[in-house]
């Protein structure tokens, strides 16, 4: 039964959402798509059913009564505009990371979602990647004991990415919000609210198209969580592609530790190194399908998404504190009061 209509804005990464049509267990059905590039739109038309509505104007999509959910995969700086419009049209929303690109915008989104009484999911793919999902289950089950220290990284040569998606250097994209949000959110998933951050930032100059905007693209971030855990994030985007996994996570606890897919548990004699095997990853397709199915369940069962507007806003607030730390050279406390602030 395909009775939950899905509309997609942005058909770059958004094309991964087409997988719901092939999932017989999903009630989601792609009924409308939107992209400003005529060639991208034509390519999508060729892949989808003939009756799927296609447009280069997202407002035409939002007017449709057969859409229940709007999935936003537009460039970062357009997210707020598209979120406002989708919520005003009474739609549930899935928005790729980052939710928005400033603390003020995050505050606005939290208020908009509450006023619209709709559900919002931020598409933080790391929370839906298999190796990290397994790590979270083992952590929640207590196999690692009490956490002592953690680290996460996102290390990626952005030059070929800038070639494929020129908006990232034309807009430009602030990779603190658009990139560092990945490892920051991943650690927040395990440990909750970040209380304080300190960061060193660097402007690499690796790509002249990005360097002309005078933005930082390399970050060393220290975090202290409200529960006392300390952690570090390496978010580096101006470099030659390094020989290590693009995304990584390590947690070190009183009963065991893991780094990516390798585990050591103190209870096992001689501390053997265990390595978990996962199917080869194929881009973000699997993660996108998993979080769309999660959103579907939240709508059907009327429950809150794993990464809702509050979680998304707290990640943005952490990024804003990182930016302030770079500017001042000082530790900065993170705002975590979204949803409990007094009305203006």
Q: Do 195 and 268 fall within a single domain?
A: yes
Give the pLDDT confidence score for residue 11 in this predicted structure: 97
Q: Do 104 and 187 fall within a single domain?
A: no
**Per residue in 324-336, pLDDT tens?**
999 999 999 999 9
Domain that holds residue 30: 4-126+286-307
State yes or no: pLDDT of 212 exceeds 70. Answer: yes
Q: In the chain, what's the furthest Cα-to-Cα distance?
A: 64
Q: Do 162 and 105 fall within a single domain?
A: no
Q: Do 108 and 34 fall within a single domain?
A: yes
**Average pLDDT value over all residues in the chain:** 96
Report the number of distinct structural domains present in the chain. 2
Q: Do 185 and 327 fall within a single domain?
A: yes
CATH number of the domain bearing residue 255: 3.30.360.10
State yes or no: pLDDT of 343 exceeds 60. Answer: no
Q: Do 45 and 97 fall within a single domain?
A: yes
In a domain, 299, yes or no: yes
Q: Do 256 and 303 fall within a single domain?
A: no
- 214: burial class by Cβ within 10 Å (0-12, 13-18, 19+)? exposed
**Per residue in 281-301, pLDDT tens?**
767 889 999 999 999 999 999
Of residues 196 and 338, the one with the higher pLDDT is 196
- Angstrom distance (rounded) from CA 47 to CA 7: 15
In a domain, 233, yes or no: yes
Q: Do 140 and 245 fall within a single domain?
A: yes
- Specify the long-range contacts of residues 134-143, CB closer than 8 Å, at least 24 apart: 134/276, 134/278, 135/249, 135/251, 135/258, 136/189, 136/190, 138/258, 138/263, 139/190, 139/251, 139/253, 142/255, 143/255, 143/256, 143/265
């Amino acid at each position: 039964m395909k009775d939950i209509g899905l509309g997609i804005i942005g058909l770059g990464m958004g094309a991964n959402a087409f997988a719901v049509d092939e999932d017989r267990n999903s009630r989601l059905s792609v009924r409308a798509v939107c992209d400003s590039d005529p060639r991208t739109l034509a390519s999508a038309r060729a892949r989808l059913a003939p009756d799927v509505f296609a447009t280069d104007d997202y407002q035409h999509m939002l007017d449709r009564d057969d859409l229940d959910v709007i999935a936003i995969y537009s460039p970062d700086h357009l997210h707020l505009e598209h979120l406002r419009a989708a919520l005003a049209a009474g739609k549930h929303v899935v928005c790729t990371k980052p939710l928005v690109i400033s603390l003020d915008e995050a505050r606005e989104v939290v208020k908009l979602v509450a006023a619209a009484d709709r559900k919002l999911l931020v598409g933080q793919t790391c929370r839906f990647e298999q190796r990290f999902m397994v790590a979270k289950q083992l952590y929640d089950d207590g196999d690692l004991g009490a956490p002592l220290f953690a680290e996460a990284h996102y290390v990626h040569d952005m030059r070929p990415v800038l070639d494929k998606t020129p908006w990232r250097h034309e807009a430009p994209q602030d990779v603190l919000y658009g990139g560092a949000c990945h490892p920051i959110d991943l650690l927040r998933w395990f440990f909750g609210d970040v209380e304080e951050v300190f960061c060193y930032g660097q402007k690499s100059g690796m790509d002249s198209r990005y360097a002309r905007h005078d933005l930082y693209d390399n970050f060393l971030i220290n975090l202290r969580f409200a529960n006392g855990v300390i952690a570090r994030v390496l978010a580096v985007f101006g470099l030659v592609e390094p020989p290590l996994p693009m995304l990584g996570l390590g947690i070190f606890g009183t009963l065991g530790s893991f780094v990516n897919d390798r585990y050591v548990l103190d209870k096992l004699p001689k501390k053997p190194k265990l390595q978990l095997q996962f199917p080869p990853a194929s881009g973000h397709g699997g993660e996108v399908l998993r979080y769309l199915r999660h959103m579907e369940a939240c709508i059907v069962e009327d429950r809150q998404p794993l990464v809702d507007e509050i979680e998304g806003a707290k990640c943005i607030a952490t990024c804003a504190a990182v930016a302030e730390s770079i500017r001042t050279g000082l530790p900065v406390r993170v705002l975590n009061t979204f949803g409990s602030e007094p009305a203006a």
